[in-house]
């Protein structure tokens, strides 16, 4: 059992498990044998404001079908009382919490689409920042004490992009970048308590909404490549789920605390594949196509220079002797 279900007996909460990356991560943890609390606002007969068909009951059933234990709990993660009640229940029923995955509002429609700063719709900015960023803080705040008490645990912030920026407009960029910063901040506070915090990103995610946008199904998804050849390099949400499961099963995961990780890099290291047995690698694909996008390439170069300046500044504060010391 241990070799096939390395997370047997472990307890996970996947916040925002209704669809997309959250659902895929819940399934991946279920494959590894975990007990997974699948939370979100969409339940049968009462969908969230997104008005999509997916529900947390379905996700819990998928977890069970994959080999784990799925428990669905309706939670609005932007409401403090809801989140507090969730973790009180987890502590009461399980007595432990090993993994928290924060994947709330990853595809919130209020983000809007790709657009410029001056065309960004800020009508719902306050609401989307609370739903997609503050909700993560609320959730981590209530989950952390359960982990600190046992001196173990992994918190995963699901974000977008493996550089500091991410998202198609300034509003989504602020949120996605904020989630990366949140993982860094939590890692420093939680490190003395043996709790790890990381941020992870998928590549080109073949979520339910993306399949719908391309007019394809999971069985016919390759037809989407006729509209966008890059879609042929996409990955299912389960691919990211297997990445998180691999992290959760790694005894040396604490060495990664504070890092920004990607599904494709973790697949190279841990050797897992997507649902169809293929190992998509968005990083390598992006490396190939970036030179054909001169505007973006120049932006990446400026970003690299900005990061170099920050790194040099930090090392300057440390001094030459301290900067040479290994970081634990």
Query: One digit per residue, pLDDT tens: the chain, 328 residues?
Result: 455 789 999 999 999 999 999 999 999 999 999 999 999 999 998 888 888 999 999 999 999 999 999 999 999 999 999 999 999 999 999 999 999 999 999 888 888 888 999 999 999 999 999 999 999 999 999 999 999 999 999 999 999 999 998 888 999 999 999 999 999 999 999 999 999 999 999 999 999 999 999 999 999 999 999 999 999 999 999 999 999 999 999 999 999 999 999 999 999 999 999 999 999 999 999 999 999 999 999 999 999 999 999 999 999 999 976 666 666 6
235 in any annotated domain: yes
136 in any annotated domain: yes
Query: Phi first, then psi: what are they for 266, rounded to 5°?
Result: -65, -35
Strands lying side by side in the sheet with 11-15: 69-74, 35-40, 11-15, 99-102, 154-158, 196-201, 260-262
Domain check: are 110 and 161 in the same one?
A: yes
Domain check: are 148 and 256 in the same one?
A: yes
1 in any annotated domain: no
pTM: 0.96
Give residue 324's pLDDT: 63
Q: In this structure, what CATH number is given to the domain that contains residue 103?
A: 3.40.50.720
Domain check: are 37 and 64 in the same one?
A: yes
Write the pLDDT tens digit of every residue in 26-46.
999 999 999 999 999 999 988
Contact 206, 265 (CB under 8 A): no
Q: 267 lies in which domain range?
A: 11-285
Domain check: are 281 and 298 in the same one?
A: no
Report the Cα–Cα distance between both ends of the chain, in Å, rounded. 33
Give residue 1's pLDDT: 46
Contact 166, 200 (CB under 8 A): no
Question: Total domain count for the chain?
Answer: 2
Domain check: are 67 and 203 in the same one?
A: yes
Query: Phi first, then psi: what are they for 180, rounded to 5°?
Result: -65, -45
Q: Give one DSSP letter per residue of 256-279, joined into a string.
A: GTT-EEEHHHHHHHH----TTS--
List b or e across 145-182, with b for residues whose CB sees 16 or more CB atoms inside 10 angstroms: ebbbeeeebbbbbbbbbbeeebbebbbbbbbbbbbbeb
* Neighbouring C-alpha atoms within 13 Å toward the C-beta of 200: 31
Domain check: are 35 and 89 in the same one?
A: yes
Domain check: are 305 and 220 in the same one?
A: no
70 in any annotated domain: yes
Domain check: are 231 and 165 in the same one?
A: yes
3-state helix, strand, coil in the chain (%, to 5): 55, 10, 35
2 in any annotated domain: no
45 in any annotated domain: yes
164 in any annotated domain: yes
Give residue 165's pLDDT: 87
Q: Cα separation of 137 and 130, whole Å?
A: 9
Write the pLDDT tens digit of every residue in 105-135.
988 888 888 899 999 999 999 999 999 999 9
Residues in the chain: 328
Q: Which tokens go with 311?
A: 């790194």
Domain check: are 125 and 185 in the same one?
A: yes
Distances (CA, A) of 149 to 100, 195, 250: 15, 10, 20
Give residue 3's pLDDT: 59
Distances (CA, A) of 254 to 99, 154, 188, 243: 13, 8, 11, 15
Contact 158, 201 (CB under 8 A): yes
């Amino acid at each position: 059992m241990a070799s096939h279900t390395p997370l047997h007996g472990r307890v996970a909460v996947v916040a925002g498990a209704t669809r997309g990356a959250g659902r895929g991560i819940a399934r991946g943890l279920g494959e590894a044998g975990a007990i997974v609390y699948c939370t979100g606002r969409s339940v049968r007969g009462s969908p969230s404001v997104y008005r999509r068909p997916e529900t947390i009951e379905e996700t819990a059933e998928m977890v069970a079908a994959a080999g784990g234990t799925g428990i669905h709990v309706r939670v609005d993660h932007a409401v403090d009382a809801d989140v507090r009640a969730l973790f009180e229940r987890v502590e009461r029923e399980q007595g432990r919490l090993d993994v928290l995955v924060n994947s709330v509002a990853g595809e919130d429609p209020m983000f809007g689409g790709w657009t410029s700063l001056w065309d960004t719709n800020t009508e719902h900015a306050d609401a989307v920042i609370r739903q997609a960023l503050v909700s993560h803080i609320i959730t981590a705040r209530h989950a952390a004490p359960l982990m600190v008490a046992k001196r173990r645990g992994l918190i995963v912030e699901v974000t977008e992009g493996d550089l500091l920026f991410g998202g198609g407009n300034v509003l989504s960029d602020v949120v996605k970048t904020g989630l990366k910063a949140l993982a860094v901040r939590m890692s420093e506070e939680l490190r003395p308590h043996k709790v790890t915090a990381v941020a992870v990103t998928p590549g080109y995610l073949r979520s339910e909404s993306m399949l719908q946008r391309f007019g394809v199904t999971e069985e016919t998804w390759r037809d989407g490549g006729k509209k966008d050849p890059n879609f042929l390099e996409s990955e299912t949400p389960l691919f990211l789920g297997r990445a998180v499961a691999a992290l959760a099963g790694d005894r040396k995961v604490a060495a990664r605390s504070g890092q920004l990780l990607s599904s494709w890099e973790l697949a190279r290291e841990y050797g897992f594949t997507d649902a169809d047995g293929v190992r998509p690698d968005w990083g390598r694909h992006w490396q190939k196509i970036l030179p054909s996008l001169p505007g973006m390439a120049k932006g990446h170069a400026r970003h690299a220079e900005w990061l170099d300046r920050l790194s040099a500044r930090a090392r300057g504060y440390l001094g030459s002797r301290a900067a040479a010391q290994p970081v634990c």
